[in-house]
Amino acid sequence: MTGILLKVASVSVFVTMSTLIKAGADAMPAGQIVFFRSAFAIVPILAFLAVRGQLEGAWRTASPLSHVRRGLVGVLAMGCGFYGILHLPLPDAIAIGYAMPLLTVVFAALFLGETVRIFRWSAVAVGLGGVLIITWPRLSLFSDGFGSGEALGAIAVLTSAALGATAMILVRKLVLTEKTPTIVLYFSLTATVLSLVSLPFGWIVPDWQTLLMMALAGFCGGLGQILLTQSYRHADVSTIAPFEYTSIVLGILIGYFIFGDVPTWTMLTGTAIVVGAGLFVILREHRLGLERKAQRRLVTPQG
């Protein structure tokens, strides 16, 4: 229950972060939003590591260039995702973002050589079909919306999902040699520095209200990462993962009551398909994990 509560708390904090960005950064370039998100996220991360006595050890790394690569991909993913949040209804942006774990399965098979059997391939195909149902009304060539902000926003979120899946592959490689605090800390640092590259492309001087909202959004990003990391210490991934989908419920409520976004039947139908496919993959992974544990117990000498 502790792990589940921490997971739900992390989802709530991340949705709050997205809400603050959508409400306060409508005129801010995506690169500048990434800077605020990354820079202010360092504050709770440093405080958490200091309290746990892990701050000194978190700076030690054997793969600095790997952190830079992961940071670059993460910055691009965040930038695209934030652009999509600003140009799409919040529930749509969240639902399209569910393509990331599905694409991670595909990329793990292609780039890590992981075995993906027909059941998971089928679930991924169905889930991506659900994403297409959500995005098609934004991308339809039969309307003038292809060049509109919503169409570009949908493309941006899809791109963010693909880049996010790539980042997950890089993280899977990093965890072989690096500790979790090191990965989290260096990502925030490299993302902050790399986002400054966008400075010549039109940053704005925010008023104090916008600055406060962006600072809070960044703080929420760091806090959400801490809560997410801690949730995995209290329960299996397969137990916690389904609660990621509570974000769509929060997104629909916030979108309706704060931004006046009314969910369409197309979005709800596509989201149901994507969530169903994601849950199937999670349950399948849980079952395979139990089978592997049972096999290890059988081959382990007793007594």
Q: What is the pLDDT of residues 196-222, one digit of tens each?
A: 999 998 899 999 999 999 999 999 999
Mean pLDDT, to the nearest integer, of 35-51?
94
pLDDT at residue 43, rounded to an integer: 94
What pLDDT digit, counting tens, does each position of 169-194 carry? 898 888 888 888 888 899 999 999 99
The tokens for 120 are 């998971």
Mean pLDDT (the chain, rounded): 87
Statement: residue 104 has pLDDT above 50 = yes
* Among 292, 283, 293, 284, residue whose Cα is nearest residue 239: 283
Which of the two residues, 140 and 51, has the higher pLDDT score? Answer: 51
Locate 66 and state its tokens: 């790997």
Q: For residues 66 and 149, which has the higher predicted lDDT (pLDDT)?
A: 66
pLDDT of residue 94: 94
Model pTM above 0.85: yes
Distance CA 193, CA 213 (A): 21
> Does residue 69 surpass a pLDDT of 80?
yes
CA–CA separation, 11 and 13 (whole Å):
5
DSSP the chain: -HHHHHHHHHHHHHHHHHHHHHHH-TTS-HHHHHHHHHHHHHHHHHHHHHHTT-HHHHT--S-HHHHHHHHHHHHHHHHHHHHHHHHS-HHHHHHHHTHHHHHHHHHHHHHS-----HHHHHHHHHHHHHHHHHHHHHH-TTSTTTTSHHHHHHHHHHHHHHHHHHHHHHHHHHTTTS-HHHHHHHHHHHHHHHHGGGGGGT-----HHHHHHHHHHHHHHHHHHHHHHHHTTTS-HHHHGGGGGHHHHHHHHHHHHTT-PPPPHHHHHHHHHHHHHHHHHHHHHHHHHHHHHHHHHHHSPP-
Residues with Cβ within 8 Å of 300's Cβ and at least 6 positions away in sequence, in order, are none
Rounded to whole angstroms, the Cα distance separating 246 from 15 reads: 10
pLDDT in the model for residue 22: 94
pLDDT of residue 144: 53
How confident is the model at residue 157, as a pLDDT? 95
